[in-house]
Structure 1
Amino acid sequence: MNVKLLLILLVAFCGCSSSASLKRSPYHYEYKNKFYYLETLYKTTWFKAFMACSKMGMELLSIDSDEEFDKIHEFVKDKMEYKNDLEIWTSGVIKEKDQFGWINSGNPVFSRWHPNQPNNYSGHQFCLNIWYFNKQFLLNDMECDTNMYFICESRKV
């Protein structure tokens, strides 16, 4: 059985704290006061990603600064097949027309948007992802029921 899958199942079923387990995972990253976990085994909707992070005692990714965004970018580039249309869920959600915030903190999303984004193209793009497109790794609004990878985070205690 895949070690990563086994780790996810153990954490999900035993309800134990994920920080100690994820420290040993190659899909774990530590930066300043946060631990991150990059899910590359399966894709899911924003809502299911939110629940998967919660089951591990974590939250969907919130990005507090350009520096943190750059560190996340390096981590993803190192751990995934870095190709056009790579999409990763964050905790960003729409607050008002064209205004997004991080669901974990309520803070506004800063300016690392793809050109002409957010655009609410379908009228239902209420969730925020990181999208690698046209050689740019930037933020994008997307329909919440789209399946994609995700990043969880937790604060160091």
Structure 2
Amino acid sequence: MAQSLYFPLHLIALCSISECVQRQYHFINENKNWTEAQRYCREKYTDLATVDNMNDLIQLKKSANNEGVQNIWIGLQRTGVYKWYWSSGDPALFLNWASGEPAGSEECAVMRNGQWIVWLCSNVSFFICNNTSTGLVFVNQSMTWREAQSYCRQNHIDLVSVRNQNENQQLEKFINDRNSSGSAVWIGLFRDTWQWLDQSNSSFRYWYPGEPNNYGGHEDCAVIGKNTQRGWADVPCDSRQIPFVCHEDKLIVIQQNLSWSEALRYCRQNHVDLVSVQSVEMQRRVMNVVKLASTEAVWLGLHHYCSMNMWLWVSGDMVCYQNWAPGNGSTPENCKLENRKGAVQSGGNQTWISLPESHRLNFICTNY
């Protein structure tokens, strides 16, 4: 039985920074209004397309690269609730507003003297980009927030994100060393009322310059525009019939209560495997789907080898990225008597916990 459940140890790989995309896009060359397109995607796949990052966007563009096609529906819709996001697609969990901020209805943010202030997105300012090779990049060209975002995405990675106080202090010093005038500088923080249909937390946006403009006051759905960059635009939801893109999630929450070994067997018989979470991006995707679970925790493909004193993924990979809840992730005291497996909490901070494999929980299969 052990050979059928566990990956051979000689296939254990070193930590890798690469990871396969966990969402597949399907271009549907049929003309439907937004409601009809949504219904079609939910019946055939998962939903109208959600985009988490630039890699997703590249795959989306490839799927929709059809001659003669103009506007194309995606699964982004305007709501009545404003939320703060980072341009990179990450949720804004850490905030460092100046006293009295955020004030007014402005939708973009700058940094001045280490604190954040809301500004009109149409104002112009210097800005900071992220670059995987060189780190932070100070751009001393005056642009609007959207222009700065486009510049960073074309020449680097994206407008800078700030995840904690330490990063905020590093960014403040970086700006002070290069910006002698002390003027405000764009960061990647913005707010809007748009939400993905599948309730994804992704804040990624790829609006064409000047969009969304809510022309006429009722443009509540998003399309891939017919412009050369395929930037997005807002349009009325049911006023036209156009093609659309669906997405198919590679992560599936199974709402059956099984032991860890039973869950592993189920995934390998019906899908591919129990999910391995090897990066922040994959954890974010797990967080998006685990809220569908009916148990307080959900099995992952994470198990502890007592003889080796280490945790491993069933894929054969070492546990490089870690998201353990406090007090979890170490070697269990009674590991020789009780097999321990890893699960993700379906509520709260959705961190990982160690549980006896006999517990019966929902679980996440991967179709990759």
- The two structures have a TM-score, normalised by structure 2, of 0.30
- Larger relative helix fraction: 1
d(CA) in 1 for partners of 2:251, 2:363: 10
d(CA) in 2 for partners of 1:43, 1:121: 26
Correspondence for 1:45 among 244, 259, 280? 259
Amino acid at match of 2:353: N
Q: Cα distance, 1:109 vs. partner?
A: 4.8
Correspondence for 2:352 among 121, 139, 145? 139
Aligned to 1:76: 290
> Compared with structure 1, are the counterparts of its residues 125 and 138 closer, same or farther at alpha carbon in structure 2 (3 Å cutoff)?
farther
Gaps of 5+ in 2: 1-23, 25-42, 60-248
d(CA) in 2 for partners of 1:30, 1:48: 33
Correspondence for 2:281 among 67, 74, 87? 67
Larger relative contact order, structure 1 or 2 (CA cutoff 8 Å, min sep 6): 1
Q: Cα distance, 1:136 vs. partner?
A: 2.3
> Compared with structure 1, are the counterparts of its residues 109 and 100 closer, same or farther at alpha carbon in structure 2 (3 Å cutoff)?
farther
SS in 1 for 2:257: strand
Correspondence for 1:113 among 302, 324, 330? 324
The answer to whether the Cα contact below 8 Å between 2:257 and 2:361 also exists between their aligned partners in 1 is yes
Q: Deviations over 1:14-62 (max 9, x none)?
A: xxxxx9xx96368xx998697111111x200001001111111310010
Aligned to 1:86: 296
Q: Deviations over 1:104-149 (max 9, x none)?
A: 132225220000112526542521111246x221111111111000
Equivalent pairs: percent with the same residue? 13
Range that drifts further, 42-51 or 135-144 = 135-144
d(CA) in 1 for partners of 2:51, 2:356: 29
Gaps of 5+ in 1: 1-18
Range that drifts further, 122-131 or 52-61 = 122-131
> Compared with structure 1, are the counterparts of its residues 121 and 70 closer, same or farther at alpha carbon in structure 2 (3 Å cutoff)?
farther
> Larger Rg: 1 or 2?
2
d(CA) in 2 for partners of 1:70, 1:56: 24
> Compared with structure 1, are the counterparts of its residues 23 and 125 closer, same or farther at alpha carbon in structure 2 (3 Å cutoff)?
farther
> Compared with structure 1, are the counterparts of its residues 50 and 67 closer, same or farther at alpha carbon in structure 2 (3 Å cutoff)?
same
Aligned to 2:361: 148
The answer to whether the Cα contact below 8 Å between 1:93 and 1:101 also exists between their aligned partners in 2 is yes
- The two structures have a TM-score, normalised by structure 1, of 0.66
Tell me how many residue pairs correspond in the alignment: 126
Amino acid at match of 1:140: I
> Compared with structure 1, are the counterparts of its residues 30 and 140 closer, same or farther at alpha carbon in structure 2 (3 Å cutoff)?
farther
Aligned to 2:9: none
